[in-house]
Amino acid sequence: MKALITRKIGMTNILNEDGAAIAVTLLSASPNTIIQVRTDEKDGYNAVQLGAESQKKTTKAQAGHYKTARVTPKITREFRIIDEELSELNVGDQISADIFALGDKVRVTGISKGKGFAGTIKRHGFHRGPKTHGGQSYRRPGSIGSMYPQRIFPGKKMAGHMGHSRVTTKNLRIALIDKDKSVIGVEGAVPGPKKGLVLLRGNK
């Protein structure tokens, strides 16, 4: 079961086997603890809950949920798994950076950087209007609908909040693993700002 809750540190570059410099995103992979194992017979699906970091204060509901694992994680996330992986998982076990190997293909999920309120040109790549021959609509979106059906359909490309959305990038390669410092290096860019939460999963 290859899954981990990490935090983004930043980007750097390293030399690969051929001596070429490649861009790498560094992720802080502190040990995760298995909080709960969900099974198809009991819950209707197979999944594992992981907890990362720690917090001092918890609610009574949280304390009861974390009692078996004997930890008080600050962050919990759930990952779907297959039947064959259930026998290897026990509540309270820890998962560290060495669960992945160099060259593994992974999926990374994070919250992209927020850009605030943006117009249609920046947000959707619209073309601007002509600035000659009497043109007066430069960065306006233009017509957004006709008389019928007298409303705007949901999903219409318009100005609005840009960024700060859940983004998943697939087929990234593990280029660096440092178990002592709990750091994983992923080749390429990872969505989100520095210190942002990043979910790392095996590419299945």
Which pLDDT score, from 0 to 100, does residue 161 have?
97
Q: What DSSP element (H or E) covers 122?
A: helix 120-124
The encoded tokens of residue 164 equal: 């700060």
Superfamily of domain 3-115+166-202: Translation factors (2.40.30.10)
Which pLDDT score, from 0 to 100, does residue 119 have?
97
Which pLDDT score, from 0 to 100, does residue 168 have?
96
For the chain, which ranges sit under pLDDT 70? 85, 204
Q: Are 46 and 83 in contact (CB under 8 A)?
A: yes
Which pLDDT score, from 0 to 100, does residue 116 have?
97
Task: Please give the distance of CA 40 from its chain centroid, rounded to a whole number.
Answer: 26
Domain spans, the chain: 3-115+166-202, 116-163
Q: How far apart are CA 24 and CA 113, in angstroms?
A: 18
Indicate whether this model's pTM tops 0.75: yes
Q: What DSSP element (H or E) covers 60?
A: helix 60-66
